[in-house]
Amino acid sequence: MKILLIFTLCLISDGGASKKVTGYSGGGVLIKCKYGTEYRQNQKYFCKGSWLSCSYQIKTGAKNEWINSGRFSLFDDTKSAEFSVMIRELTVEDTGTYQCGVDKDWIDIYTPVELKVKEDLSYEKSISKTVHVGGDLNIRCKYPESLRSDPKFLCKTMLQRAACSYKESVKESRKDVNEGKFSLYDVRETQMLTVSIRNVTEQDSGEYWCGAEAAWTSDHGYKVYFTQIDLTVTEPHVPDSTSRPTQHSSSSSSSSSSSSSSELNPASPPAG
């Protein structure tokens, strides 16, 4: 019995205290998992279940690049000795215990993650917008009450939706944060993030997410993606040249020609 107990304890290698993560149905979360620098070259994985029976969601030995597996993506940043796991299209069924894992000979290293996915009907989970090239756009993202005090951001997906990049987040209520043509304004009293995009181009088309940094600077921090924005940028409408009125023939009377000319080139705009 004593030998069995020692053997069992050896199989449990804790990589840190349990992380508690809250996400929302239809959205996503980004979880970061620290590890010792001596394990930079080891395989990393994310599995669901206890350490005794854990089902791989994603596992890879790739370094410093996003790897996809269904709704899961993993990026192993060897410089900072941490790997990140993105989970997309969350459902309440995703609630449960997960493990950040480092593959080792004989004994793996586990960090438990307690994920809770909530259903919240107080905000829009998806927004579609169409705007002409050169136009301006305002988008309002209402967010769950639990994210009221967290910094907010707008990110654009890339690399087959594995990553969602941004440079700035708004950390205070009622304060503008500008990032090039983008600006963010968060009113925490009403749980409303307003995103403004100026002078849009075709390159701005794509999938964006309104999100929040939940204690992101701590070891237990994570990111929450709550509203998806599909932005389509189109060319401005150009009237068909065939619809323009034609001038009268030379045989028309001078009065008719004068009338036609005034119709084509009105002297002044109509009274407003």
More confident residue, 260 or 72: 72
In this prediction, residue 151 has a pLDDT band, given cuts at 50, 70 and 90, of very high
pLDDT of residue 257: 40
Domains in the chain with CATH codes: 19-118 (2.60.40.10), 126-232 (2.60.40.10)
What percent of the residues of the chain are helix, what percent strand, and what percent coil, each to the nearest 5?
Answer: 15, 45, 40
pLDDT of residue 7: 33
Token duo for residue 86: 């993105």
In this prediction, residue 247 has a pLDDT band, given cuts at 50, 70 and 90, of low
pLDDT tens for residues 1-53? 333 333 333 344 555 678 999 999 999 999 999 999 999 999 999 999 998 88
Cα–Cα distance measured from residue 241 to residue 228, given in angstroms and rounded to the nearest whole number: 39
- Lowest mean pLDDT across 1-10, 32-41, 141-150, 215-224: 1-10
pLDDT of residue 268: 37
pTM of the predicted model over 0.85:
no
pLDDT of residue 123: 94
Token duo for residue 253: 């009377």
- Residue 102 pLDDT > 80, yes or no? yes
Taking the CA atoms of 63, 66, 67 and 69 in sequence, report the sign of the dihedral they define: positive
